[in-house]
């Protein structure tokens, strides 16, 4: 049959008897009255002799087995991309022209068939090409496997189809109903060639389309096209048994009819017994046991939050699942669905044939993939779904170019929470946390974490929480909790009883859920002691072990912890030491790589900055204010690329610098007069330093850690604790030192004072002898060193230091040597 | 009556179809009109705008619903409460030899078979409800609005003032004297406890009873609006729109998509068919607060008039607050506040007010007065009595009901520019359950961030809100951290004065107009401000960015209250003075 749209041949008027009977999607073909094998039926609604046995129709209400007709040499007619579009030909034959057009492109069954055969037989993965040329192709192997396990479907990656034959891919996406039906036939042919006795019907399931759309963008032109979209399952209907073949029995004579196949969603019930002898009218009754049913399920899919524009509510779409796809998704699952978008007209009433002008739309599901699961096993949580897809070469190139900028470190720092003003060093630390160091697993089983933990301690109102929230927004796997509202089990894992199955199930807590992400804990200080102690294991071993209710498990919790806390007594007390102010157990404290003290200093300059910042917030267009910063999308793309591709190694030079710096730090910790209240360097510190320097190298996309990375790491560590401002003698932070920047001379003076005081005490006091009054010592001091003024206050400090050294004992104003 | 050939009012579909046939007749293919207009809108725009016939279009409410004929032109003012997604329909189809259209209508006379001669078009379904907390005066004025001079599709905000005619002023005046009659009664019936009701009876409410059916119990009905050919960004959730279009009655589209119901082969339908009024929108425009005002006597925004209005309004507020001038000043600024920018999590421009030192007794005296006054001043107001019981049972946040496939608007789903009074004086010790904690958190988020979390069961979405929040409490509210905490010092309690309609109209106009003014700062003043802020911080380390922010907001609002668009030194000094007085009260 030629494609020429000759009006005579397609004499198809709305009164055509078998046409108005079904409610079918628009654009469906019209079965022409032509009979026999030349019947041009695209959807293959009727069965002809040429149809191979196809007992598993793919689509509801429409038996999709096209008659494999060969229209060789069909003249290509101008193709319209949107199906069902009336052709540009005006006039009377519009009615008949449209179906021709669906078919009337350059698709010929033969060509498609051979293309599919070639694809299935010959497609090989890119990497396996060449060497294994004599092996079977990827899909031949897959078919064999399907046969072995007696599977019912063959998953076909649409990317493979595209790589092998882009033309075939295009046809498949545009005319999925036809092409997939041919696909099935080809597959069945091949199956029967390999194993003629194989009885099951194998279907093709296409997945991983090249382009995926969003629910919002589905529009009338997508109807009858293959689409792929992501969403969240919100409702599943019960499984509906859908009749496929019906058998009737005559109530009068007991004659069983032949199985009657569903035709366009209807079963024509015989009105009279077919048995010649009986011929009773209206006596046929359905025999359920002899009917064949297929599973069907209707699932509602809803948009995920990231696809919803501002000021909108999520859209939903219905999915139709068949056979094996039934129950593939449960409410709450994030899935990626590949299917055919279809529309169906709505009838006014169940018994009426008139239809409304409305269409119901749904997606005939071909393949469903749970994205949530894959996200859980994804190697790195930092890679977000969208960025992985658009990670083309040019994007990589962009990032590489970006990384070559000399000021990339500063630029990234600026781009991090640009609305939080200043706190640059804190932001640098957070940047390091985002990029992270290298996790190392030694063959002996020992492992070193690569995640950097940060604690922010500071005065109220220093925008700690905003920083936390920003980081949380930036890291897709992050969990944000507040210490006050978190319990120990809520952070780690808990056992609960499933209300439906009554089984005990393990539910993951925040730390486990943020595996390979960042767990942000606000109000760390307000957390219960019990909950905090759970963090010990997580922060070093990076696992969570639980043993309760018969469940003993160790869960991975490779998470970076970002916590923030107020100092004890809400405000930083400069009279107390740093440790006393933070008031956390040293065991926990040492697990934080960086501890930032964000102090609210009475500095006019900073106040001015703050004032200007807020004034501009109120009176300027906030869009204009920030320039030269990277937007969040670029930032995350950069981040995920760096985390995935860059694994820096320590250079020798850097290693040397590390050793040197560490030794110096230890020495400083042993400074005479230092008490236990100073945070001294521990082996943990050197690990932290390595991690931070690795992160710094990663920021630059550098494969080696250079010396200046290490220097910067040391600087960050020092800045973090404001160690430069810490008085090592008393362990307190010298607030004046921070604000005025007056240097170490003051400390030298105090050290001298301590030394000379000690000398005097050694001279004048006998071990266990009589005590001496403070004022007397002061007199002595003044006599000895006339060079500088000595105050009683200074002396008290010096004596206190000596007391901690165990040289003297003080009772009131009396000093006694012990 | 209208154009020479179209009767837009009584037979809009006829006009639409005629234009369509004309367009097709002139040689255009129907496929060219996919998502496009063929000239029908021009006809209606001409009819409504150029010929000024908008006022002839009946407003859809419970009254008019009784007699409005299907397939006639109506208009509806409401808030977009939910979006029900897109709907595909046979937009154009071939009937015999000619093309016909179904746009803006639903009734296809003849069965549409599955012929290829059907163009499938799409339209958006919006579920609109009357604006929550709409006060009676605004409602009645909308209904009897005399003239609207222009109506355009681009729906830009315009502040337009219409001349108020004499008879409606009388009407309005009577409305005031009747104090809390119509609106308060309605509130009571709705189970929306107004303050006065709460004082007398504290009946426990069933969960959601007050909020769930809100659209249905109001005076005007909710309406399903079908919008054609608009960009998605144009219509947002919680925006207030006026829709003009073809009225039909339809079964609710909810069950149609329901799980078991989609059964493709049998076409089985749920028997429960809800009939809802439906409007096929032809033109729509976004409404601002000022659109709810009747024309006001002031046409020129002269400085003199603004000053006078400000003075008289301030006097009125002072009187309401028991002769407390400071509180009245703060109240004025509070009523003018409006969010004008959002940077990250900071909503710039909000000024929530917490009036403290209010005991139950004091509140019974002027709390009710205050609420009534606010109701008369602002078009959309609502109030929440904060009791433990209320927190534990109420549905504050909107929640998606997947059974009905409908967003259930909580009390906090409010239109932009609404005013919400939270009465905390009723709060007594008690235990909050999980609902209560969640509700308290929602309120706190609203006060701090001006955001409301919408619960979609599987995830939550934050929606930006712009609500003026007034908290009345005995001490400083712990649940609701307002920007300004102010102890009220009422000195004498005066009887509520009878306010003239002119004054009321002027105040409404003043409040609606002043808050929309734009505002800038000169560099000299900016320096002064910065210096002052630094000095304040040097003096008191507790002052942080939050305090700076509210100070600047006050400065902005203060100059806006004088109708100025730049901050002047004088107004800045006034703000500082006010703050000083407030600090003195706190300490």
Q: Show the tokens assigned to A415.
A: 């781009």
Q: Half-sphere exposure of A50 toward its Cβ, with a 13 Å CA cutoff?
A: 15
pLDDT interval class at A465 (50, 70, 90): confident
> Which of A96-105, A668-677, B197-206 has the highest average model confidence (pLDDT)?
A668-677
Rounded to a whole number of angstroms, the CA Rg of chain A reads 38
- Asked if B320 and B438 touch (Cβ cutoff 8 Å), the reply is no
What φ, ψ does residue A691 adopt, rounded to 5°? -60, -45
The reported pLDDT for the residue numbered A453 is: 83
Which residues of chain A make contact with B264, given a CB cutoff of 8 A? 60-61, 265, 320, 344, 362
Residue A143 — very low, low, confident or very high, per pLDDT cuts 50/70/90? confident
- Give the residue from chain A lying closest to B452, CA to CA: A311
**In chain A, what percentage of residues exceed pLDDT 90?**
0
Structure-model confidence comparison of residues A56 and A727, the more confident one? A727
Q: Is the model's pLDDT at A63 over the cut of 50?
A: no
Decide if B512 contacts B289 (C-beta within 8 A).
yes
Residue A374: count other Cβ atoms within 10 Å of its Cβ. 12
Q: Does residue A111 carry a pLDDT above 80?
A: no
> In the predicted model, is pLDDT for residue A377 greater than 60?
no
CA distance B318 to B489: 11
CB contact set of A196 (below 8 Å; sequence gap of 6+): none
The pLDDT value given to residue A64: 37
Instruction: Give CA–CA dist A423/A429, Å, rounded.
Output: 10
pLDDT in tens, chain B (587 residues): 444 556 777 777 778 878 887 877 776 666 666 666 777 777 787 777 777 777 778 887 777 777 777 788 888 888 888 888 788 877 777 766 677 777 777 655 555 555 566 777 888 888 888 888 887 777 665 555 433 333 333 333 333 333 333 333 333 333 333 333 333 333 334 433 333 333 333 333 333 333 333 333 344 578 888 888 777 777 888 888 888 888 877 665 444 444 444 443 333 333 344 567 888 888 888 887 777 776 555 555 677 788 888 888 888 888 888 788 888 888 888 888 888 877 766 778 888 888 887 777 777 767 777 888 888 888 888 888 888 888 888 888 888 877 777 788 788 888 888 888 888 887 788 887 878 888 888 888 888 888 888 887 777 788 888 888 888 888 777 778 888 888 888 777 666 667 777 788 888 888 888 878 777 777 788 888 888 888 887 777 667 777 888 888 888 888 888 888 888 888 888 888 888 888 888 87
Residue given tokens 């925040």 in the structure block? A510
Q: What is the spatial distance between Cα B525 and Cα A134, in angstroms, rounded to a whole number?
A: 82
Confidence of residue A486 (pLDDT cuts 50, 70, 90): low
Helix/strand/coil (H/E/C) assignment for every residue in A420-467: CCCCHHHHHHHHHHHHCCCCEECCCCCEECCCCCEEEEECCCCCHHHH
pLDDT digits 0-9 by tens, B12-25? 777 887 888 787 77
Most confident option among A345-349, A604-608, A719-723: A604-608
Distance from CA of B343 to the nearest CA of A (A): 7
Which candidate in B84, B264, B553 is best for mutational testing of the A interface (most A CBs within 10 A)?
A: B264
- Please tell me the predicted confidence (pLDDT) of residue A680: 56
- ipTM of the predicted structure? 0.71
For residue A98, pLDDT beyond 60: no
Model pLDDT, residue A758: 79
Q: Is B238 in CB contact (< 8 Å) with chain A?
A: yes
Q: What is the pLDDT of residue B168?
A: 37
Residues 102-131 in B contacting A (C-alpha not used; CB under 8 Å): 102, 106, 108, 111-122
User: Choosing among B120, B127, B410, B520, which should be mutated to test the A contact, i.e. which has the most A CBs within 10 A?
Assistant: B120
Query: Which two tokens mark B78?
Result: 């409401």
Contacts with A218 from chain B: Cβ below 8 Å: 86
Is residue A379 scored above 80 in pLDDT? no
Query: How far apart (Å, rounded) are the C-alpha atoms in residues A357 and A340?
Result: 22
| B364 and B493 Cβ atoms separated by less than 8 Å | no
- Between A313 and B187, the higher pLDDT residue: A313
Q: Given an 8 Å threshold on Cβ–Cβ distance, is A316 in contact with B257?
A: yes
Secondary structure class of B545 (helix, strand, coil):
helix
What would the mean pLDDT of A778-798 be, rounded to a whole number? 71
| Chain B residues lying within 8 Å of A481, measured CB to CB | none
Burial class (CB in 10 A: 0-12, 13-18, 19+), A812: exposed
Please tell me if residue A609 touches chain B, with a CB cutoff of 8 Å.
no
Q: H/E element holding A170?
A: helix A166-174
Q: What is the share, in percent, of chain A residues with pLDDT greater than 70?
A: 65
Contact: A600, B541; criterion CB under 8 Å: yes
d(CA A34, CA A20): 17
Nearest to A232 by CA among A342, A151, A334: A334
**What is the reported pLDDT for A732?**
52
Helices (H), B116-273: 136-143, 166-177, 182-190, 195-200, 214-217
Cα separation, A199 vs B360, whole angstroms: 82
Q: Given B102, B266, B345, which is nearest A350 (Cβ)?
A: B266
Q: Which chain A residue lies closest to B108 (C-alpha atoms)? A: A357
On chain B, the residues whose CB falls within 8 A of the CB of A315 are 83, 85-86
The reply to whether residue A617 touches residue B534, judged by beta carbons under 8 angstroms, is no
Q: Is A465 on the interface with B (CB under 8 A)?
A: no
Cβ contact (<8 Å) for B114 and A23?
yes
Q: Could you tell me which chain A residue has the CA closest to the CA of B121?
A: A220
Q: Does A17 touch chain B (CB under 8 A)?
A: no
Confidence label for A300 from pLDDT (cuts 50, 70 and 90): confident
Name the CA dihedral angle for A530, A533, A537, A543, rounded to a multiple of 10 degrees: 30
Looking at the complex, does the CB of residue A617 fall below 8 Å from at least one CB of chain B?
A: yes
């Amino acid at each position: 049959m030629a494609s020429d749209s000759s009006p005579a041949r397609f004499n198809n008027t709305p009164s055509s008897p078998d046409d108005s009977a079904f409610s079918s999607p628009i654009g469906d073909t019209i079965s022409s009255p032509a009979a026999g094998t030349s019947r041009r039926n695209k959807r293959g609604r009727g069965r002809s002799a040429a149809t191979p046995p196809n007992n598993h129709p793919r689509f509801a209400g429409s038996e999709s087995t096209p008659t494999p007709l060969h229209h060789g040499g069909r003249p290509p007619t101008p193709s319209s991309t949107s199906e069902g579009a009336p052709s540009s030909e005006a006039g009377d034959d519009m009615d008949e022209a449209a179906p021709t057009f669906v078919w009337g492109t350059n698709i010929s069954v033969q060509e498609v068939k051979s293309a599919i055969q070639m694809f299935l037989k010959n497609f090989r993965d890119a990497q396996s090409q060449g060497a294994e040329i004599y092996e079977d192709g990827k899909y031949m192997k897959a078919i064999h496997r399907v046969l072995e396990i007696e599977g019912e479907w063959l998953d076909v990656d649409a990317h493979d189809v595209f790589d092998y034959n882009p033309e075939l891919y295009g046809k498949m996406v545009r005319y999925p109903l036809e092409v997939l039906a041919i696909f099935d036939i080809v597959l069945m042919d091949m199956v029967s060639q390999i194993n003629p006795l194989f009885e099951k019907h194998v279907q093709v399931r296409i997945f991983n389309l090249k382009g995926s759309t969003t629910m919002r963008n589905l529009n009338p032109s997508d109807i009858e096209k293959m689409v792929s979209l992501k969403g969240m399952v919100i409702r599943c209907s019960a499984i509906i048994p859908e009749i496929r073949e019906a058998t009737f029995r005559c109530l009068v004579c007991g004659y069983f009819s032949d199985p009657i196949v569903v035709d366009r969603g209807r079963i024509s019930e015989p009105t009279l017994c077919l048995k010649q002898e009986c011929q009773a009218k209206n006596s046929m009754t359905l025999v359920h046991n002899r009917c064949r049913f297929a599973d069907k399920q209707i699932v509602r899919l809803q948009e995920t939050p990231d696809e919803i524009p501002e000021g909108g509510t999520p859209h939903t779409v219905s999915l139709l699942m068949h056979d094996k796809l039934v129950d593939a998704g449960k409410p709450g699952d994030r899935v990626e669905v590949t299917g055919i978008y279809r529309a169906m007209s709505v009838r006014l009433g169940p018994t009426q044939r008139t239809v409304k002008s409305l269409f119901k739309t749904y997606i005939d599901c071909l393949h469903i993939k749970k994205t949530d699961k894959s996200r859980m096993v994804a190697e790195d949580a930092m890679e977000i779904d969208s960025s992985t897809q658009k990670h083309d070469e040019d994007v990589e190139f962009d990032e590489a170019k970006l990384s070559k900028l000399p000021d990339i470190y500063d630029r990234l720092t600026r781009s991090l929470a640009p609305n939080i003003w200043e706190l640059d060093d804190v932001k640098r630390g957070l940047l390091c946390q985002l990029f992270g160091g290298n996790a190392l697993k030694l063959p002996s089983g020992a492992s070193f974490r690569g995640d950097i933990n940060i604690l922010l301690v500071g005065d109220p109102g220093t925008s700690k929480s905003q920083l936390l929230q920003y980081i949380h927004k930036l890291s897709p796997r992050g969990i944000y909790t507040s210490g006050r509202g978190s319990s120990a089990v809520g952070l780690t894992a808990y056992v609960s009883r499933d209300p439906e199955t009554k089984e005990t199930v393990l539910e993951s807590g925040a730390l486990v859920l943020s595996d390979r992400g960042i767990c942000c804990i606000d109000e760390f200080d307000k957390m219960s002691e019990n909950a905090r102690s759970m963090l010990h294991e997580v922060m070093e071993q990076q696992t969570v072990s639980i043993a309760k209710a018969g469940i003993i498990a160790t869960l991975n919790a490779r998470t970076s912890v970002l916590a923030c806390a107020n100092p004890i007594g809400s405000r930083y007390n400069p009279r107390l030491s740093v440790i006393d102010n933070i008031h956390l157990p040293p065991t926990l404290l040492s697990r934080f790589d960086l501890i930032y003290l964000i102090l609210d200093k009475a500095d006019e300059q900073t106040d001015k900055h703050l004032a200007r910042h807020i004034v501009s917030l109120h009176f300027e267009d906030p869009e204009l204010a920030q320039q030269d910063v990277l937007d969040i999308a670029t930032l995350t793309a950069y981040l995920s690329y760096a985390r995935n591709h860059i694994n820096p190694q320590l250079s020798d030079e850097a290693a040397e610098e590390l050793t040197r710096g560490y030794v110096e730090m230890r020495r400083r910790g042993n400074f005479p007069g230092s008490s236990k209240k100073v945070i001294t360097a521990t082996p943990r510190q050197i690990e932290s330093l390595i991690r931070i320097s690795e992160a710094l190298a990663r920021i630059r996309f550098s494969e080696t850690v250079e010396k200046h990375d290490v220097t910067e790491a040391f600087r960050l560590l020092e800045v973090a604790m404001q160690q430069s401002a810490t008085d090592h003698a008393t362990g307190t932070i010298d607030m004046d030192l921070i604000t005025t920047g007056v240097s170490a001379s003051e400390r030298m003076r105090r050290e001298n004072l301590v030394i000379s005081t000690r000398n005097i005490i050694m001279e004048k006091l006998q071990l266990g002898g009589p005590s001496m009054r403070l004022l007397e010592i002061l007199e002595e001091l003044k006599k000895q060193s006339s060079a500088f003024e000595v105050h009683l206050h200074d002396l008290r400090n010096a004596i206190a230091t000596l007391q901690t050294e165990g040289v003297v004992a003080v009772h009131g104003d009396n000093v006694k040597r012990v | 009556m209208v154009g020479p050939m179209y009767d837009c009012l009584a037979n809009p579909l006829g006009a639409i179809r005629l234009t369509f046939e004309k367009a097709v007749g002139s040689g255009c293919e129907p496929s060219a009109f996919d998502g496009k207009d063929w000239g029908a809108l021009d006809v209606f725009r001409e009819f409504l705008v150029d010929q000024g016939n908008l006022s002839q279009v009946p407003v859809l409410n419970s009254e008019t619903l009784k007699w409005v004929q299907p397939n006639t032109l109506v208009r509806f003012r409401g808030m977009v409460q939910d979006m029900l997604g897109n709907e595909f329909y046979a937009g154009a189809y071939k009937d015999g030899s000619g093309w016909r259209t179904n746009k803006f209508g639903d009734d296809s006379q003849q069965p549409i078979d599955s012929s290829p001669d059907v163009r499938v078009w799409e339209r958006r379904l919006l579920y609109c409800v009357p604006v929550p907390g709409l006060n009676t005066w605004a409602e009645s004025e909308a209904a009897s609005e005399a003239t609207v001079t222009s109506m355009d599709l681009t729906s830009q905000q315009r502040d337009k003032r219409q001349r108020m005619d004499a008879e409606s002023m009388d009407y309005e005046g009577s409305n005031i004297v009747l104090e809390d009659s119509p609106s308060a009664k309605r509130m009571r019936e709705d189970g929306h406890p107004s303050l006065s009701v709460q004082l007398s009876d504290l009946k426990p409410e069933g969960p959601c009873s007050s909020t769930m059916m809100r659209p249905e119990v109001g005076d005007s009905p909710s309406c399903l609006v079908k919008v054609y050919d608009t960009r998605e960004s144009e219509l947002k959730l919680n925006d207030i729109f006026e829709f003009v279009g073809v009225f039909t009655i339809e079964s609710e589209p909810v069950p149609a998509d329901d799980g078991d119901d989609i059964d493709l082969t049998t076409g089985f339908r749920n028997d429960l068919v809800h009939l809802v009024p439906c409007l096929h929108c032809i033109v729509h425009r976004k409404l601002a607060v000022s659109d709810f005002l009747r024309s006001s006597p002031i046409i020129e925004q002269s400085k003199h008039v603004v000053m006078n209005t400000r003075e008289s309004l301030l006097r009125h507020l002072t009187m309401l607050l028991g002769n407390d001038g400071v509180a009245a000043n703060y109240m004025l600024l509070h009523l003018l506040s409006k969010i004008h920018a959002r940077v990250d999590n900071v909503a710039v421009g909000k000024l929530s007010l917490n009036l403290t030192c209010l005991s139950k007794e004091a509140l019974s005296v002027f709390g009710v007065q205050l609420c009534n006054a606010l109701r008369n001043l602002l078009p959309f107001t609502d109030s929440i009595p904060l009791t433990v019981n209320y927190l534990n049972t109420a549905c504050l946040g909107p929640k998606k009901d997947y059974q009905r496939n409908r967003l259930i608007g909580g009390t906090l789903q409010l239109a932009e520019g609404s005013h919400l009074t939270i009465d905390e004086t009723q709060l007594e010790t008690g235990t909050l359950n999980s609902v209560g904690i969640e509700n308290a958190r929602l309120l706190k988020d609203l006060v701090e961030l001006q955001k409301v979390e919408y619960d979609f069961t599987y995830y939550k979405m934050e929606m930006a809100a712009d609500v003026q929040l007034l908290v009345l409490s005995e001490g400083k509210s712990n649940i609701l951290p307002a920007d300004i905490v102010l102890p009220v010092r009422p000195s004498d309690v005066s009887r509520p004065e009878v306010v003239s309609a002119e004054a009321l109209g002027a105040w409404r106009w003043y409040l609606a107009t002043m808050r929309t003014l734009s505002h800038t700062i000169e560099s000299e003043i900016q320096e002064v401000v910065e210096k002052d802020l630094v000095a304040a911080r040097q003096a008191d380390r507790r002052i942080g960015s939050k305090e700076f922010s509210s100070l600047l907001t006050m400065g902005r609002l203060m100059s806006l209250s004088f109708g100025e668009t730049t901050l002047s030194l004088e107004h800045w000094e006034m703000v500082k003075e006010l703050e000083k007085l407030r600090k003195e009260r706190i300490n």
